């Protein structure tokens, strides 16, 4: 009997290895993807879709596919990938490329950059997924395939279908077609992916009520307007919810518990000064009132940062662990290490410098800075070469550069100083909550955490010890 089972298993394995996967290939942000052709109903080009109020940021709307109302999502927005700017759809060049997926009797449209071709790949050539090879969450990837010198990322569209069945893509669609729209269940033939919620499937912004305990926004009388004609708090918050949905879709910036207070105050100020809510459509427009949504830190710290960190640190015994949670090319990691050592040159310092951009993190150990102001204290920790300023060995050896996504948990020890400046809002709501929780978990009593000037930590757990072009909090 055991021999017979072995024979059957061998036959099944051989059949799988000798089989072929026929797939539709397409591109997203310059990378090649593939979908099993058996899950594709048709390929089309669409000019416009029916907008759905209050739908998640990645939902483009609904489309009438020969009498069948289907929801349409933009994979680029869902995966936080860049979306090419288009003029108003009026020509063949302005239409969107749409792949209509089929799951039993249910259909879902997905927008992509370009549909390429139909091709086949041997199942034996399909490799396991690896996060280094993609810009999207590994939960959405079934595997990788090499074909004609190109690497194709095989997409797990069954996960998209599960999200749709849960109503995440169809929120608010009940009003379409007189309330006749309903989401058909996904058939049992679709394999069930991981139970963990993937990035991009949560609500885009927190409800005001959910953040009431963590913000200092004053409560006001409800209603549409006061006797003086000013907008009520209720009306302002409704306008703010619409504003933050657009902010997430256009800029990839999500208002979370750290940024809520500042963003809401700036929004309120704009409304009071202009008499209406902003009607923005581009990142540059949003940056007029929220300049930090486009900020990228690609320089060493200023003297202000340097002196602020240096002044806070007492003498320390034992190992002083510090963490730059998004170090990019390494500017913040070298700056932090220099500031800490300038405060105590005998400090037994270890700095973890992590980032989920493999290209940037690989360049960190050999970072060269083109220009440093002579009055910047960090210059004492560098030596000038013909290519620019290199950091001295006694500083560089204190820093450990690692490829690491903060979304995946953090196996690091408790930290005495953490740099977490201006990045938590560039993750969706559920992910940012998880990241903030991870950052809190790595702090210990009297440790410090450096954040952006628009971010606010809870007074119940932290006290503000420095405020300027950034903020430094100390754990109580």
Q: Are residues 314 and 289 in the same domain?
A: no
User: In a 3-state reduction of DSSP, which class is residue 55?
Assistant: coil
Shared domain for 324 and 466, answered yes or no, is yes
So what's the pLDDT on residue 135?
59
pLDDT 10s digits, 44-56: 887 777 877 777 7
286-290 mean pLDDT: 92
- Alpha-carbon distance 110 to 76, whole Å? 9
Last residue of a domain, one of 164, 197, 227: 164
- Does 180 fall in a domain? no
Is residue 243 located within the same domain as residue 364? Answer: no
Region 347-365: what's the mean pLDDT? 88
282 and 250 Cβ atoms separated by less than 8 Å: yes
What CATH number is attached to the domain comprising 112? 2.40.50.180
Please indicate, yes or no, if residue 405 is contained in any of the structural domains. Answer: yes
Per the CB < 8 A criterion, the answer to whether 361 and 354 are in contact is: yes
CA proximity to 330, closest of 402, 383, 428: 402
pLDDT at res. 94: 62
Instruction: Note whether residue 170 is domain-resident.
Output: no
Return the structure tokens found at 472: 């430094």
Question: Residue 57: exposed, middle, or buried by beta-carbon count in 10 A (0-12, 13-18, 19+)?
Answer: buried
DSSP secondary structure code for residue 170 in this structure: -
Residue 96 Rama label (left phi>0; alpha psi -120 to 50; beta): beta
Q: Please tell me whether residues 146 and 283 are part of one structural domain.
A: no
Instruction: Let me know whether 202 and 333 are in one domain.
Output: no
Between 52-56, 288-292, 460-464, the lowest mean confidence (pLDDT) is in: 52-56
Beta strands in 325-407 (DSSP E): 348-355, 368-369, 382-385, 388-391, 399-403
* pLDDT at res. 18: 54
Would residue 172 count as lying in a domain?
no
Contacts of 441 (CB under 8 A, 6+ apart): 410
DSSP string, 63-81: EEETTEEEEEEEHHHHTT-
244 and 330 in a common domain: no
Pairing of strands 443-452, 40-46: unpaired
Domain end among 269, 293, 317? 293
Q: Are 259 and 251 in contact (CB under 8 A)?
A: no
Share of the chain above pLDDT 70, in %: 76
Same domain, 425 and 381: yes
Question: Mean pLDDT, the chain, as a whole number?
Answer: 78
Across the range 348-359, mean pLDDT stands at: 89
CA 347 to chain centroid, in Å, comes to 35
Give me the helix-helix angle, 331-343 and 303-312, nearest 10°: 50
Task: Convert the pLDDT of each residue in 75-127 to its tens digit.
Answer: 988 888 888 876 554 445 567 889 999 887 788 899 999 988 888 888 877 88
pLDDT band at 316 (very low <50, low <70, confident <90, very high): low
Give the mean pLDDT of 307-323. Answer: 84
Residue ending a domain, choose from 261, 293, 325: 293
Q: How far apart are CA 328 and CA 362, in angstroms?
A: 10
Q: Which residues pair with 390 in a beta bridge?
A: 368, 383
User: Domain for residue 178, yes or no?
Assistant: no
Q: What is the pLDDT of residues 156-179, one digit of tens each?
A: 888 776 655 444 454 444 434 333
Identify whether the C-beta of residue 9 lies closer than 8 Å to the C-beta of residue 16.
Answer: no
CATH at residue 363: 3.40.50.150
Question: pTM value?
Answer: 0.55
**Eight-class DSSP state of 95:** P
| Token duo for residue 137 | 């969450």
- State residue 397's pLDDT score: 93
pLDDT surpasses 70 at 358: yes
Residues 370 and 448 in one domain: yes
Number of structural domains in the chain: 3
Query: DSSP states of 352-369 as a string?
Result: EEEES-HHHHHHGGG-EE
Whether 357 and 270 map to the same domain: the answer is no
Residue 423's alpha-carbon distances to 406, 439, 455, in angstroms, are 11, 12, 10
Strand, coil or helix: what is 192?
coil
Distances (CA, A) of 384 to 334, 372, 391: 15, 10, 9
Considering the domain boundaries, does residue 11 fall inside one? no
The pLDDT > 90 percentage for the chain reads: 32
The per-residue pLDDT for 312 is 87
Q: Which residue has the tokens 């702090």?
A: 443
Residue range(s) defining the domain that contains residue 236: 188-293
Average pLDDT over residues 440-464: 93
Q: Which residues contact 227 (CB under 8 A, 6 or more apart)?
A: none
Per-residue confidence band for 396, with pLDDT thresholds at 50, 70 and 90: very high
Same domain, residue pair 29 and 154: yes
Is 449 within 8 Å of 464 (Cβ atoms)?
no
| Whether residue 226 sits in one domain with residue 156 | no
Give 219-229 pLDDT, tens digit per residue: 343 334 444 45
- Does one domain contain both 324 and 449? yes
Average pLDDT value for residue range 12-16: 46
9 within domain boundaries: no
Label residues 113-133 b or e (16+ Cβ within 10 Å = b).
bebbeebebeeeebeebebee
Residue 419 belongs to some domain of the structure? yes
């Amino acid at each position: 009997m055991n021999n017979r089972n072995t024979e059957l298993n061998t036959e099944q394995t051989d059949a799988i290895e000798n089989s072929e996967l026929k797939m539709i290939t397409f591109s997203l942000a310059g990378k090649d993807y593939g979908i099993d052709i058996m899950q594709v109903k048709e390929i089309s080009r669409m000019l416009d879709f029916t907008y759905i109020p209050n739908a998640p940021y990645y939902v483009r709307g609904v489309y009438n596919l020969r009498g069948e109302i289907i929801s349409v999502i933009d994979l680029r927005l869902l995966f936080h990938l860049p979306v090419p700017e288009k003029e108003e759809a009026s020509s063949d060049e302005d239409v969107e490329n749409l792949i209509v997926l089929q799951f039993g009797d249910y259909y879902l449209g997905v927008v992509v950059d370009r549909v390429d071709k139909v091709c086949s790949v041997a199942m034996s050539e399909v490799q396991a997924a690896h996060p280094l090879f993609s810009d999207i969450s590994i939960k959405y990837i079934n595997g990788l395939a090499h074909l004609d010198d190109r690497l194709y990322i095989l997409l797990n569209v069954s996960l998209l279908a599960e999200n749709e069945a849960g109503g995440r893509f169809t929120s608010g669609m009940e009003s379409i077609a007189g309330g006749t729209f309903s989401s058909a269940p996904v058939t049992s033939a679709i394999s069930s992916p991981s139970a963990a919620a993937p990035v991009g499937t949560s609500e885009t912004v927190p409800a005001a009520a959910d953040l009431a305990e963590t913000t200092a926004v004053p409560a006001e009388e409800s209603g549409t307007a006061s006797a003086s004609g000013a907008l009520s708090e209720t009306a302002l918050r409704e306008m703010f919810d619409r504003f933050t949905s657009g902010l997430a879709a256009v800029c990839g910036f999500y208002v979370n518990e750290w940024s809520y207070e500042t963003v809401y105050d700036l929004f309120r100020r704009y409304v009071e000064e202009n008499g209406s809510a902003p009607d923005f459509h581009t990142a540059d427009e949003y940056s007029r009132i929220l300049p930090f949504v486009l900020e990228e830190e690609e320089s060493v710290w200023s003297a202000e940062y340097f002196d602020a960190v240096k002044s806070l640190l007492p003498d320390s015994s034992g190992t002083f662990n510090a963490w730059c949670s998004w170090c990019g090319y390494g500017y913040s990691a070298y700056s932090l290490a220099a500031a800490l050592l300038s405060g105590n040159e005998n400090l037994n310092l270890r700095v973890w410098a992590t980032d989920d951009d493999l290209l940037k993190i690989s360049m960190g150990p050999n970072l060269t800075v083109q220009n440093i102001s002579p009055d910047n204290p960090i210059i004492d920790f560098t030596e000038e070469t013909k290519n620019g300023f290199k950091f001295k060995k006694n500083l560089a050896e204190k820093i450990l550069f690692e490829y690491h996504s903060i979304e995946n948990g953090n196996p690091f020890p408790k930290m005495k100083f953490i740099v977490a400046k201006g990045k938590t809002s560039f993750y969706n709501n559920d992910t940012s909550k998880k990241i903030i929780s991870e950052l809190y978990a790595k702090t210990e009593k009297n440790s410090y955490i450096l954040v952006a000037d628009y971010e606010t930590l809870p007074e119940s757990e932290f006290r503000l010890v420095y405020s300027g072009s950034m903020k430094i909090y100390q754990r109580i």
